[in-house]
Amino acid sequence: MDIRKPTGNELAAILELSVQALFDGTIGRARPTEEKVRQLVEPLLAKGGYYLIATEEDRLMGWVLLGTSRDQFTDIPFGFIYELYVIEEYRGRGISKQLMERAIEQLKEAGLPEVRLSVFVENHAVGLYRKLGFTERNVTMSMPLK
């Protein structure tokens, strides 16, 4: 397996598949359009964020979108994992872990003091994140008003 930045064609494939990735990541609570995905992703890419992809024999297996952000209270920069996704047929092979480890390594090499991410509490990736050393920092709560 190779982990690297995507080519232009691979980036286009990721953007197409990101509709499903966001649907899965939000546990089915959101089904964004391709336009919405572009509205979310393009500003991240424009400010230096980038994808790392996992491939094998030129087959896209998954990706992680990483970049930087700034703490809202201290303005200190930190690394951020914006998206992690493995295509269903490749799940269960440890690809998510390898993508995350590479992303964390690159953020550390960039001199960032911390890595953060947001995840729905029911998302099965929570277990992976905990194994990698992530802990709860903030809790976002909601209450339906129906």
CA distances from 75 to 25, 53, 109, 110 (A): 28, 30, 20, 17
Domains of the chain: 2-131 (3.40.630.30)
The pTM of this model reads 0.92
- Give the alpha-carbon dihedral of 59, 34, 9, 120, to 10 degrees: -50
**Contact yes or no for 22/37 (Cβ under 8 A):** yes
**Contact yes or no for 113/104 (Cβ under 8 A):** no
Query: Per-residue pLDDT for the chain (146 aa), expressed as one digit of tens each?
Result: 999 999 999 999 999 999 999 888 887 888 888 899 999 999 999 999 999 999 999 899 999 999 999 999 999 999 999 999 999 999 999 999 999 999 999 999 999 999 999 998 889 899 999 999 999 998 888 899 98
